[in-house]
Amino acid sequence: MHSQASAAAEKAVVAPYGSWESPISAAAVSAAGRTVEGLAVAGDGRLLWVETRPEEGGRAVLVKEAAEPGGDAVDVTPEGFAVRSLAQEYGGGAFAVQGDVVVFSNYSDQRLYKQTIGDNSAQPLTPDYTGSVVRYADGVYDPHFCRYVTIMEDHRKDSSNPMTTIAAVTISDGDVNEPTVLVSGNDFYAFPRIDPIKRRMTWIEWSNPSMSWDKAQLWVGYFSEKGEVHNKICIAGGDPTLVESPTEPKWTSKGELFFITDRESGFWNIYKWDEESNLIVQLYSLDAEFSKPMWIFGVSSYGFLGKDDMSNKIVFCYRQNGRSCAGVLDHDSGSFSELDIPFSSVTNIVSGDGFFYVEGASATLPVSIAKVTLDEKRKTATNFSIVWSSSEDVMQYASYFSLPEFMEFPTVVPGQKAYAYFYAPHNHIFQGSSDEKPPLLVRTHGGPTDEARGVLDLGVQYWTSRGWAFVDVNYGGSTGYGRKFRERLLGQWGVVDVNDCCSCATFLVETGRVDAQRLCVTGESAGGFTTLACLAFRQIFKAGMHKFEAYYIDNLVGLDDKVVPPDQARKIYKALKEKGLPVALVEYEGEQHGFRKAENIKFTLEQQMVFFARLVGNFKVADDITPIKIENFD
């Protein structure tokens, strides 16, 4: 145990890696766990967003930007409601706004409700089906027929194989009505978007066994006088000689259709539909990703910066070589202007007239929402202001932060590279001995087509400030590097990801950065599968932690998880216990696929830290943590 008083010393105190004291506690990590789940601009130009709150049991609340800079944001969602969809279990796209009226999906019953901003009451729009068996997401207003068009996922006939359609919900008469199905027949739908000028709609659809980022189709359908969809046209994805995954269709105020697809190059770039010729035109070619896999509804990677004369200006974000960039494209001239903003990772953009809001982060900024104002020509950012931060107090820990190093490392395939972000141990009070290398924790992201992004995360700094090295691996199959890199994992899940994680750890050992005898691995969801496979089929790692599905060591399970049922974890726990391996099972009431409650986030992190310390050893953690019992170990 070492005192913070040593901070006054001219030289850092030498102490074993892993034993350092740090003010970045597990409680601080859970308090910084607020997330954003959707952005939209209200009629008055102010931003609305959904904010999840671990301190309220993970409740998701719709919030509106303050009327004046520096003011307090205002909660829109009434008490007793939470804005969260369970469509496809992962949700997203849980609300839409038109003027000052919001339609949202309520978490407890999954019904759609209508609410006027500033009014603390909400009016139900859809029937009350027992058991939340009908779910809605990714909805938009239809100005032609005064209705709400949404993805509808119906579990009434088959809970394991629900029927997904595009449906219309009446919002004008105040009555609760059964939704009207507009488009059906395929397995999955997303992005229903209404042309503001003509009576027509676009959408994305795809079929099993493909995921939307493997192969999908973009359609346009025209509305009849009664609002039914007819005269459907496949815009992209229908050519059997081309494999592509179109996504994010949007109409301009003039009725022009834009979207993103990855045909031919394998990188998601921006295209426009030429209606007269029924051809699509690429607007800007770059070996970069202008979108990402649609694990959740409501993704928004670009927007239009105005109407009429300025409708030709598109603000967008793209991902290239481990970094996000934002820019403005004049789609008439093809000219492109990169914008200088502090975020190195951008995840969502929504636009207004001459400004846009961006969700992003960097190595020194936590996940935040910023408002970016542009000059008259829409080429330069003139102002960047933070509207919301996931952790307003995070900078008090700045002297403890370890900055990520983007690195390439060789895989088992000769000449092939994979990528990672490496964080060295860092604490301005302590340092390790010259004859000791730090323990390493390898994190495998979920998806498995997700991506580690090298941004400020107190969950990482919790480890590095205590003397651990940490690495976030983008193994083959990760997004952000194009289709070819992503498809390394096809038919090879549990092989390529495992090999790359092991190769990354080995690379760090061989370059003298970490201790070969103290390598640990952790992951959530699909990353948990990779963790388990690393431990089962390789001898590289000494210990691992697998959240939600099963653990080798410490099996933490959400009992309400529909993506990975708890029974899977119980079976693995039993098998490991019978084999005499160290294992524990902790089950949490009320958690689903991803922990949302502050107390569970805190408990999990502390138990992971103390278990690794006990197992890989050579140090004692400075924190006062009572460990849970480990079968076949205690």
Mean pLDDT, rounded, for 246-275: 96
The Cα-based distances of 632 to 23, 82, 534, 576 in angstroms read 33, 42, 21, 9
Long-range contacts of 629-633 (CB under 8 A, 24+ apart): 629/584, 630/553, 630/554, 630/582, 630/583, 630/584, 631/577, 631/582, 631/583, 631/584, 632/577, 632/580, 632/581, 632/582, 632/583, 633/582
- The CA distance from 106 to 313, in Å, is 35
pLDDT tens, 574-592? Answer: 877 787 777 777 776 656 5
- Torsion angle, CA of 26/27/30/34, rounded to 10 degrees? -140
Helix, strand, coil fractions of the chain, as percent rounded to 5: 15, 35, 50
pLDDT class of 18 with cuts at 50, 70, 90: very high
pLDDT band at 447 (very low <50, low <70, confident <90, very high): confident
- Res. 618: pLDDT tops 80: no
Place of tokens 């006062």: 624
Q: What is the mean pLDDT of residues 338-353?
A: 95
SS3 at position 372: strand
pLDDT over 90, % of the chain? 72
Give the residue-averaged pLDDT of 114-128. 95
pLDDT class of 79 with cuts at 50, 70, 90: very high
Q: What is the mean pLDDT of residues 458-478?
A: 97
Q: Which of 8-22, 144-158, 383-397, 446-460 has the lowest mean pLDDT?
A: 8-22
Q: What is the DSSP string of 36-67?
A: EEEEEE-TTS-EEEEEEEGGGTTEEEEEE--S
**Bigger pLDDT: 259 or 591?**
259
Cβ 317 vs Cβ 269: under 8 Å: no
Least confident residue range of 59-63, 161-165, 434-438, 603-607: 603-607
pLDDT in tens, 209-238: 999 999 999 999 999 999 999 999 999 999
State the average pLDDT for the chain. Answer: 90
Q: Is the peptide bond before 410 cis (omega within 30 degrees of 0)?
A: no
Mean pLDDT to the nearest integer, 511-529: 92
Residue 567 pLDDT more than 90? no
Alpha-carbon span 348 to 335, nearest angstrom: 22
The β-bridge relationship of strands 336-339 and 345-351 is: unpaired
Backbone angles phi, psi at 280, to 5 degrees: -110, 145
| Residue 173 in this model has a pLDDT that exceeds 80 | no
Neighbouring CB atoms inside 10 A of 567's CB total 9
Q: pLDDT band at 565, cuts 50/70/90?
A: low
Question: Can you give the pLDDT at residue 542?
Answer: 87
In angstroms, the CA 612 to CA 284 distance is 48
Strand partners, 408: 419
Q: How far is 254 from 252, CA to CA, in rounded Å?
A: 5
Condensed to tens digits (0 to 9), the pLDDT of residues 367-404 reads 999 999 999 889 999 999 999 999 888 999 999 999 99
Identify the pLDDT of residue 549: 30
pLDDT of residue 553: 34
Q: 82 vs 529, which has greater pLDDT? A: 82
Please give the pLDDT value at position 554. 35
Angle, vertex CA 138, rays to CA 99 and CA 276, nearest 5: 85
| Tokens, residue 144 | 């032609």
25 burial type by CB count under 10 A (0-12 exposed, 13-18 middle, 19+ buried)? middle
Q: Cis peptide leading into 23, omega within 30 of 0? A: no
Residue 559 has what pLDDT? 44
pLDDT grade, residue 7 (50/70/90)?
A: very low
Lowest-pLDDT range of 398-402, 458-462, 605-609: 605-609
pLDDT tens digits, residue range 82-117?
A: 999 999 988 999 999 999 999 999 999 999 999 999
52-61, 151-160, 446-455, 561-570: segment of lowest average pLDDT: 561-570
Rounded average pLDDT over 619-628: 86
Given a cut of 70, is residue 466 above it in pLDDT? yes
Closest by Cα among 514, 513, 429, 442 to 474? 442
Q: How many CB atoms lie within 10 A of CB 578?
A: 11
Residue scoring higher pLDDT (465 or 295): 465
